[in-house]
Chain A
Amino acid sequence: MARMKFLCDAERCIECNGCVTACKNENEVPWGVNRRRVITINDGKPGERSLSVACMHCSDAPCMAVCPVDCFYQTADGIVLHNKDMCIGCGYCFYACPFGAPQFPRNGAFGTRGKMDKCTFCAGGPEPDGSQEEFSKYGRNRIAEGKLPICAEMCSTKALLAGDGEEVANIYRERVIMRGFGSGAWGWGRAYPGQNPG
């Protein structure tokens, strides 16, 4: 059985935000809600690194563990999804998530949080696959169409990989072999501080 995973290669990510707009365009994510974000650290300084971050679809997902109404579920492929009809917008998953993935639209006059929204690995929600209702609540269901998440498919430098963890690992392993030496996803600088792969 496939186990769906993302991997973002910091040697490759250039913060072009292609993944961000691809996600918005495909899933019609409203202004202000960001299922995917590119984070840059040491901005403008040597050691600058960018990484694209969304829900990581944890195997033992903390959001699922803490949800008071138990609105989360995990697909057989390991994708963590939730049911917006059940969600009460309490934000407890936001506390629990190690990645800041849950998003809360502001659609009320007093800043009420609304239903939680997050990356679905382009796998929709509990409604029938490809239905209008699923689309309007969760966005596209590319997985049901036999496609992978749009963010990774459109990544400009192929930094962001998505799919069955085993396949992702194989692609990444091949890449590491091609590089010739051991820079991990976090980059050479992390493995051997102060050195550049020359």
Chain B
Amino acid sequence: MLRKKRDGVASGPRLSDSVMETAPRAMDRRTFLKRSGLTAGGLAAAATMTTGRVSRARAAQAKSAPVKTVKTVCTHCSVGCTVIAEVQNGVWTRQQPGFDSPFNLGGHCAKGAAVREHAHGERRLKYPMKLVDGKWKRISWDEAINEIGDKMLEIRKSSGPDSVYWLGSAKHSNEQAYLFRKFYAFWGTNNGDHQARICHSTTVAGVANTWGYGAMTNSYNDIHKSRSMILFGSNPAEAHPVALQHILKAKEENNAALIVCDPRFTRTAAKATEYVRFRPGTDVPLVWGILYHILKNGWEDKAYIRARVWGLDFVKKEVMKWTPEEVERVTGVPGSQLERVARTLANNRPGTLIWCMGGTQHHQGNNNTRAYCILQLALGNIGKSGGGANIFRGHDNVQGATDMCVLSHSLPGYYGLKKGSWKHWCRVWDVDYEWMKGRFASEKLMQSKGIPVSRWIDGVLEKKENIDQPDNLRAMVFWGHAPNSQTRGPEMKKAMEKLDLLVVVDPYPTVSAVMHDRKDGVYLLPASTQYETYGSVTASNRSIQWRDKVVDPLFESLPDHVIMYKFAKKLGFADQMFKHIKVNGEEPLVEDITREFNKGMWTIGYTGQSPERLKAHMKYQHTFDKTTLQAKGGPLDGEYYGLPWPCWGTAQMKHPGTPNLYDPSKPVAKGGLCFRARFGVKAPDAWGGGNLLAEGSWPVGSEIKDGYPEFTMAMLKKLGWDKDLTDAERKVIEAVAGDKTNWKTDLSGGIQRVAIKHGCAPFGNAKARTVVWNFPDPVPIHREPLYTPRRDLLDKYATYEDKKAYRLPTKYASIQKVDYAKDYPLILTSGRLVEYEGGGEETRSNPWLAELQQHMFAEINLADANDLGIRDGEMIWIESPEKSKVLVKAMVTERVGRGVVFMPFHFGGWFEGKNLKDKYPEGTQPYVLGEAANTAMTYGYDSVTQMQETKATLCKVMKA
């Protein structure tokens, strides 16, 4: 799978190409060298040097200059590894291991060990540019902001605010993500989104609708306590390598079983004690195939289910249809193997369950995520140390950006888009609701979900009359997002070409700069990386870490929040937007932004993590236990590292954070919880009308010894606990909504404080629900992929009917009813490589990483290759049923099963056989270019969240 070039000469761009102009204003590394007089031979010589010596020259540095050490956090995956940077004369010179971090204990994968190179940025976008007659032209920031702003205001006037799309990023800090979400609210649209839509949206929807919150329940470290581990569609050895440190510890020290379920025999599978290969897109049958044995043999945790789980009997009816024979017919996994897996899970509790993109990126992804939850609930594994649904998020701050709801369907903190939600945030922002309403085209559009990022191309290309908004999308802002991480390449190209305006804000030009054939109307604005600014970032386990600034912004790049301020000023709402955020020059004060979201994010407890507390956690990292994450002694005694949310109440309340969600073995005040009462107190009559509140289970120390609904002021009064409120708190509560004020809208935090004082969870104490009655499939059922190779299964497991969702018509049955499998017989799936991340522009521009993976490839099974006459290393075409195709190298391997083709999705810069190298602004081409796998990926969107289907489609393979 991992094709390594061993003799080192790149066929693509060479390192020596990188010797190029330096920007006049900002100091980069080479300018520094010049000033320090240390270049030995001078810069002129560098241009003529061969590859090796260029590196050497770059390396030369002032040995004598004083060394400043800065602590920051890796900007790649969600593990949150501490990076220790050494800085001399304002230049990042070395990295040291951060042994004190409980997350990585000094460890790094290839990406983390090479992050310094991002802050040298030879291939970065160095100044604002625009496309003029097909040529890139350098412009000033003022010109760029004015021209773009004028065009946007014109579009706003003629088509309404919904015709501009604001695509944000999981690469933003929490402060930037929050500000971005606030920004497009003030612009007056819900047409904003970010990578979470196409990574874990089905997780968030599925999990939150099962037990309350849509996040990883435990932590990487808590896996130390697991006695079994089962992974679905997750390959942490490549996607979250440092997580393996914790997983292998459990495997070695607890003798814990490591069961890997994946269509590919991954690097993680190589470490497994049991590997289950199954057909892509058949997760529900696989999980039901395991649960079948558990329920049949009575291995479920009956006492736990009675107290804390609702509706399992409905699920059982569906599960018992999945006999071992039927499971094998659909998934290809023998029944005997799944019985062994079920027995292992039953005999080794607590066990953790981990899933990633392999489970989420399907048109029925929300069914998959709920099925995983139900398996864990049946085993009684949720709310226990060593158990949990450990959903590994992808990007470094995709958890945080999701929590800030840089999404098209919610306001920060998952408040939704209802009138009450807007009113809550208007109170926090101190703006008038009527004014806010006036920013939108209508109150209806203000409260209706915007177009998700997965569908922006349809927002451009769909007929105007079919879209539930005044006009098509006309301007697209890619603010830290790789277009090659999205499916349907040729249509995306068409959409890009149809736009009036395309704006890219990114440290790199990205594929957005090159994949279209536009001649004008494209702007590239250089954003700084997170190493050139500071702020907080949320790791997958909900811990929030504080990054310090390593170096000043390189070249003419600016931190994202500065660019947001510039745009807000140009577009005319800066005064309202920055009412309570101090702006120094043009830079909004980061800490003020943290304090502002602290004031509003009561739902998920982002309220107790003040900048001061977060900075102290970074400083005293070494005092935290490496397994429990709890500080032992020291100034933070008893707190959990990074104050994992919910960290209830105000910062003054000093809640320690919640290390494991829903764990009633601790008092709520000390990080304990129960399941959230989110779905009412009684099930709908159609589903038996049973009691949804917990029965006989409550967090330790609770004064209410039973289930209870979520807290409101009225409930406090009924309990007689309102006398515990201070006068100040009472005043705020009265001002919000009197007795109707609840734990989510009380801006004083008083209701939360009092509930917790009495040992109660502010969000109530309920059962988890296994039936989500408001979803298309209340009980998760199997539906074949839209492009399925198994036509014989369609009479039983067909997809949904076509419908409308998120303002757009969405196709299901109309695709599935056509038989494509005759001409496209192989299954096509995709995944990650350890060296690269996301669309890969940043990592492919990093010489240390680029050298390790120089060619885009596709894995194809030996038998299929021989049938097609294809040999290892040959160039092949992979064509999808939608006729999009990519030219890649064949890697013949048994890693994929027969009938399955796999491609990594990090490549870009080629399009359907054409190298786009010359279309990049000079000097910004990544070292490695290749076909984007997603060019050939096809239509398909989740029935609840519009997640794109990238893990199960069809293709044919041809010799090039």
Contacts and interface: CB of A to CB of B under 8 A. Distances in A.
Q: Do A and B bind each other?
A: yes
Interface of A: 11-12, 14-22, 24-26, 28-34, 37, 40, 43-46, 48-50, 105-107, 130-132, 135-136, 140, 147, 150, 153-158, 175, 178-180, 196-198
Contacts of A178: 252-253
B10 A131 contact: no
A158 B107 contact: yes
18 contacts: A15-B237, A15-B267, A15-B834, A16-B110, A20-B848, A21-B848, A25-B114, A29-B55, A32-B9, A34-B6, A40-B2, A44-B265, A44-B896, A136-B56, A154-B108, A156-B109, A178-B253, A196-B274
The 3 tightest CB contacts between A and B, nearest first, are A32-B8, A44-B895, A30-B52
B466 interface: no
Nearest to B264: A44
Interface of B: 1-2, 4, 6-10, 14-15, 38, 40, 50-56, 58-60, 63, 94-97, 99, 104-114, 116-117, 237-238, 241-242, 244-245, 248, 252-253, 255, 257, 265, 267-268, 270-271, 273-275, 834-835, 847-849, 851-852, 859, 893-896
A16 B111 CA distance: 9
A31 B847 contact: yes
B267 to A, nearest CB: 5
Most A CB contacts (10 A, CB to CB) among B97, B113, B114, B245 go to: B113
Contacts of B241: 14, 16, 18, 156-157
The secondary structure that dominates the A interface is: loop
Contacts of A158: 105, 107, 245
Given A16-B238, A156-B245, 7 more contacts: A12-B248, A31-B8, A43-B895, A154-B97, A156-B104, A178-B253, A198-B255
A78 B456 CA distance: 61
Nearest to A22: B113
B101 to A, nearest CB: 12
B109 A44 contact: no
Contacts of B104: 156
Contacts of B54: 30
Contacts of A22: 95, 108, 113-114
Contact of A46 (B97, B106, B265): B265
Contacts of A26: 94-95
Contact of A180 (B63, B255, B847, B895): B255
Given A25-B848, A179-B252, A180-B255, A136 B59 contact: yes
Contacts of A16: 109-110, 237-238, 241, 244, 834
A24 B1 contact: no
Nearest to A183: B252
A34 B273 CA distance: 33
Contacts of A34: 6, 8
Contact of A130 (B63, B106, B237, B274): B63
A178 B302 CA distance: 33
Given A18-B109, A21-B848, A154-B107, A44 B1 contact: yes
A50 to B, nearest CB: 8
B10 A31 contact: yes
Contact of A21 (B114, B245, B271): B114
A152 to B, nearest CB: 9
Contact of A24 (B96, B114, B253, B275): B114
- Which of A11, A17, A131 has the most C-beta atoms of chain B within 10 angstroms of its own C-beta? A17
A22 B109 CA distance: 9
B294 to A, nearest CB: 19
Contacts of A197: 255, 273
A151 B834 CA distance: 17
Nearest to B112: A18
A5 B714 CA distance: 69
Contacts of A154: 97, 106-108, 112-113
A33 B8 contact: yes
Given A18-B109, A24-B114, A198-B257, A11 B252 contact: yes
A44 B894 contact: yes
Given A21-B113, A131-B63, A196-B273, A28 B106 contact: no
B252 A21 contact: no
B837 to A, nearest CB: 13
Contacts of B114: 21-22, 24-25
A158 B108 CA distance: 10
Contacts of A17: 109-110, 834-835, 852
A31 to B, nearest CB: 5
